[in-house]
Amino acid sequence: MYDLFVIGAGPGGYEAAARAGKLGKKVALAEKQYMGGVCLNVGCIPTKTYLRSAKLMTDCREASAFAIDVSAPRLDLPALAARKDRVVGTLVKGVETLLKRSGVEVIRGHARLTSRNTVEVEGQPCQAANILIATGSRPAVPPVPGIDSASVVDSSSVFALKQIPGKLAIIGGGYIGLEFASFFAAAGSEVVVFEMLPQIASGCDRDIADRLHRELRRQGIAIRTSVKVTAIEKNVLHFTEAGGEKGRFEADSILNATGRQPVVEDLGLERAGVDFDRKGVRTSDRGKTNVPGVWACGDCTGRRLLAHAATREGIVAVNNMFGREDRLRYETIPSVIYTHPEVASVGWTEQELEAKGIPFKKSQVPMAYSGRFMIDNPQGTGLAKVLVGARYGEILGVHVLGDSSSEFIVAAAAMMEMELCASDVAGVVFPHPTVSEAMKEAILRAAE
């Protein structure tokens, strides 16, 4: 009898298993494919490895601005894939070590619930007082004829490409599509992004999304919004524009980046009576499902679909299952788009506040306010946008467009977690010169 049985070794599952193990609980973890999950193997980590090289390509091209003479750079894709594999390999070993040190028993194979406290892995039943479903998500497949053509790759299989495509069509202008657009454009592809909505980076504050759009276009990425992809024939993509005009685009490769789908099938959820649908397993902000003893975290809940959200959800579930009250505060979870330039955000967007009718004040500071940003980005532009409550000045949202914002957005998240008001931030010392000073300035201006 286990205290906890975790299904899925992604950032939600393995962190939760390790935490429970460290609490002295008897824990098992089942994984059918990748230790570390999508994030480590075909998601966050591989894409960031690729994007790091892309950034270096860009830097080399712009090296003269830094007084360095560099000949035209050339990307060696197989060598990059090998580097990615080394990085992933090291991190996967780290996960395995963590689980081992925490006393977690790792079981390889497909796990299914057979009751509310029994899991079966490859025919072997395991009893558990608590079951944590952390099965993650997979790339969504839109109902477009020809989406299964050989020329179409998704965010996992794209890493198997042997060469940089000359022409790349990307279906979807969300964070996945945009990050790959950033990479392939830097690597030399002619990239066209097809987005169904009028705005790219859906969910992002509009001012930030519009600026990112302009910046990516300046880098040579073609972005077509309000466009619906209607069919794929071999390597030709057919689409309809908002006005009804039809068009076609011939590409060497087509990347399907239309989002991610929670993995909820073939898990025995129906048998255990767990409430779920194709949008995910329904959970409370404490990680509980409708069935006592069955918990869920991460992408399979369909809530935030971010690795760090999954980790926190898993920890919250473990805390609650072993008697420590905890809950998730979704509004303070930051998110990042690792394009060049990066977008980092936490909290509400201006559009969300308007829709909710929350009175707010806003401030916007160009990133060039920061000396360090000017040094780092001879051509770059960017924006720090801050939204605070009209009455008390509590920080409601911080949105930054500009490289290295992913590294300091956590400061804003911490401020929001502690419910600091904008004027309180005057007492927080930011190192100089850093890019984060632009964010501080935006917060202080919002306090005025």
Partner 1 sequence: MATPVEMPKLGNTVEEAILVSWKKGKGDKVSNGEIIAEIETDKATFELPAPVDGTILELFVKEGDLVPVFTNVCAIGEPGESVESLRASGGDAPPAAGAEPPQAVQSAAVPPRQAAAPSSAVDESALSPRARRYLRQRSMEAPPVAGSGPGGRILEQDLIAYFAANPKVSSLARKHMEEGYEIRGAGSGINGMILARDLDAPGQKLPKIREIIARRMRDSLGSSAQYTLSASAEATGLLSLRARIKAAAGRAPDININEMVMFCTVRALIEMPELNAEFINGKIYRRAGINLGFACDTEKGLLVPVVHGCENLSIAEFAARVKELTRQTIDGTVSPDNLTGGTFTVTNLGNLGIESFTPILNVPQVAILGVDAIQLKPVRRGAGVEFVDFIGLSLTCDHQVIDGAPGARFLKLLREKIEQVESLAELNL
Q: In terms of CB distance, is 238 or 286 closer to partner 1?
A: 286
Q: In terms of CB distance, is 250 or 419 closer to partner 1?
A: 419
Among the listed residues 68, 74, 290, 392, the single contact to partner 1 using CB under 8 A: 392
Asked whether position 424 contacts partner 1 by CB under 8 A, the answer is: yes
Asked whether position 419 contacts partner 1 by CB under 8 A, the answer is: yes
Among the listed residues 86, 101, 234, 327, the single contact to partner 1 using CB under 8 A: 327
Q: How far apart are CA 395 and CA 361, in angstroms?
A: 10
What's the closest the beta carbon of residue 415 comes to partner 1, in angstroms?
9
Q: In terms of CB distance, is 375 or 428 closer to partner 1?
A: 428
Q: How far apart are CA 263 and CA 310, in angstroms?
A: 14
Asked whether position 361 contacts partner 1 by CB under 8 A, the answer is: no
Among the listed residues 342, 394, 403, 437, the single contact to partner 1 using CB under 8 A: 394
What's the closest the beta carbon of residue 401 comes to partner 1, in angstroms?
27
Q: How far apart are CA 330 and CA 327, in angstroms?
A: 9
Among the listed residues 230, 421, 430, 434, the single contact to partner 1 using CB under 8 A: 421
Scanning 209-217, 230-238, 359-367, 415-423 for contacts with partner 1 by CB under 8 A, the matching segment is 415-423
What's the closest the beta carbon of residue 425 comes to partner 1, in angstroms?
10
Scanning 314-322, 377-385, 389-397, 434-442 for contacts with partner 1 by CB under 8 A, the matching segment is 389-397
Backbone φ/ψ region at 419: left (φ over 0), alpha (ψ -120 to 50), beta: left
Q: In terms of CB distance, is 245 or 325 closer to partner 1?
A: 325
Start-to-end CA span in the chain (Å)? 59
Q: Which residues contact 281 (CB under 8 A, 6 or more apart)?
A: 133, 262, 264, 269, 274, 275, 289, 296, 300, 301, 302
Helices 307-321, 13-22: crossing angle, 10 deg rounding: 30
Omega cis (within 30) before 142: no
Total chain residues near partner 1 (CB under 8 A): 12
Supply the residues annotated as catalytic.
432
Q: In terms of CB distance, is 15 or 394 closer to partner 1?
A: 394
State the residue for tokens 């909505």. Answer: 197
Q: How far apart are CA 91 and CA 242, in angstroms?
A: 44
> What tokens appear for 370 in the block?
């920061």
What's the closest the beta carbon of residue 183 comes to partner 1, in angstroms?
36
Strand partners, 276: 281
Q: Which of 437, 434, 442 has the alpha carbon at shortest distance from 376?
A: 434
Query: What letter would DSSP give residue 335?
Result: E
What's the closest the beta carbon of residue 419 comes to partner 1, in angstroms?
3
Scanning 214-222, 269-277, 350-358, 413-421 for contacts with partner 1 by CB under 8 A, the matching segment is 413-421
Strand partners, 160: none
Q: In terms of CB distance, is 188 or 389 closer to partner 1?
A: 389
Secondary structure of residue 412 in the 3-state scheme: helix
For partner 1, the binding residues (CB under 8 A) are 325, 327, 329, 389, 392, 394, 417-421, 424
